[in-house]
Amino acid sequence: MAILLETKGLNVIFRTQNGDLHAVRDLDLSLPEGVTLGLVGESGCGKSTLGRAILRILQENATMTGSIRFGAMDLLALPREETRQIRGRNIAMIFQDPMTRLNPLMRIRDHFIETIRAHEADTTKEAALKRAEKVLADVRVPPDRMRMYPHELSGGMRQRIMIALALLFNPTLLIADEPTTALDVIVESQILELLRSIMKDYNMSVLLITHNLGLVAEFADRVAVMYAGRIVEEGETHRLFRNPMHPYTQGLLKSVIDLETADLYSIPGYPPSLLGPSVGCPYYPRCEKRMDICKTVDPPLRPTGDDGGTVLCHLY
């Protein structure tokens, strides 16, 4: 399968008052065409930063090194104007809270007109609205909602509209950053079903960023687990859930509370600070299987076996 997106040795560093914050560290990730990759981790592990880094929409104080290849292009080497054209057209993104992403002073239809004209400036209003109507039908939103303002719509409707905006240009990659976290559980399932069918119709790859392991289990083909700015384990979803290799993945899976959970488990300790240099394995202080070598030597990247995945650990 052709590789759609690939990062090699990607580093993202934020300059802050308290020093350099290493949000993403030496990160290698590849996403084949037509695959849904779930990127999971706890808050502050750098998963959202990675999503934004791909689109290059990080804050001013961020510096990036390494490479992000998208098809034949290196996104980090592209000039500003060209990345702007890729955003929304080839790579689209949807965010957690649709309320803060839609302009409260604009009607829904004006969002569509503005988005289309940002890429195709000479589109007439009528042509733009016609296209909007088509994608709205794809996300099951009645056309009369176009007259409305965002506050008149429910959370699920708003997220559907965000998805419709992302679909306007048939992107090949959709980055979904916690797309259902702000929604209730039933609406969450509805939106996921919708995303699943749209992915097929539009032939998109999806990078699903979430903290919810249940979501990933139901939705993703492959999973990457992030901890302290690194991908500690990557692999095929079934393998990763059935046979997790990294101690952090094991701990995370054990701490999920679902309807079958009988007793409470939590990983001891807290995630490390990302400020300053890091020596050895970042999970060392919390790990149940730690060895002396983990404290001082950075863990090696090892293959996980048949599923073509990787694990970042001294155990293997």
Binding site for another protein (CB under 8 A): 42-43, 133, 137, 140-144, 154-157, 184-190, 192-193, 211-218, 237-238, 241-242, 251-253, 255-259, 261, 264-267, 270
Closest CB to another protein among residues 156, 282: 156
Smallest separation, CB 225 to another protein (Å): 12
Dist CA 129 CA 112 (whole Å):
7
Smallest separation, CB 270 to another protein (Å): 5
Smallest separation, CB 68 to another protein (Å): 27
173 neighbors 31 (Cβ within 8 angstroms): yes
Closest CB to another protein among residues 70, 112: 112
Closest CB to another protein among residues 54, 209: 209
Q: How far is CA 155 from the centre of its chain?
A: 20
Closest CB to another protein among residues 213, 224: 213
216 neighbors 237 (Cβ within 8 angstroms): yes
Smallest separation, CB 38 to another protein (Å): 10
Closest CB to another protein among residues 56, 230: 230
Q: Where are the beta strands (DSSP E) in the chain?
A: 3-16, 19-32, 36-40, 62-70, 73-74, 91-94, 173-177, 205-210, 222-227, 230-236, 301-303, 310-312
282 neighbors 230 (Cβ within 8 angstroms): yes
Smallest separation, CB 238 to another protein (Å): 5
Dist CA 54 CA 101 (whole Å):
19
